[in-house]
């Protein structure tokens, strides 16, 4: 299994794309991972599920615009160089 750095970048782009397409109200709320269900405990340990939901939400908020640019660059590179 020989990795190049470019394959790592491609894997990272695919993973972030997968997280970015999870829609808030159509999907995440249906399975109980919505924003309103994470307020829960005001104790000190948020728990794994709340951390994951926070991570998904922050990735979606932060990476929405840069992903457009990165995906376009990746598509152009793949079209040109195969």
In the complex, the residues that contact other proteins under the rule CB under 8 A are: 1-5, 7-8, 43-46, 48, 51-52, 55
- Residue 74, Cβ density class (10 Å: 0-12 exposed, 13-18 middle, ≥19 buried): middle
Nearest approach, Cβ of 56 to other proteins (angstroms)?
12
Encoded tokens for 28: 């995440």
Question: Contact 19/59 with Cβ under 8 angstroms?
Answer: yes
- Compare residues 66 and 72 and give the one whose CB is closer to other proteins: 66
Indicate the SS3 state at residue 40.
Answer: coil
Q: Which is nearer to other proteins, 58 or 72 (CB)?
A: 58
**Min CB(8)–other proteins separation in Å:** 5
């Amino acid at each position: 299994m020989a990795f190049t750095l470019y394959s790592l970048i491609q894997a990272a782009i695919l993973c972030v794309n997968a997280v970015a397409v999870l829609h808030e109200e159509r999907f995440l709320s249906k399975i109980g991972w919505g924003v309103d269900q994470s307020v829960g405990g005001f104790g000190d340990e948020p728990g794994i599920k709340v951390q994951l939901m926070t991570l998904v939400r922050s990735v979606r908020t932060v990476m929405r615009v840069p992903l457009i640019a990165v995906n376009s660059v990746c598509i152009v590179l793949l079209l040109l160089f195969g």
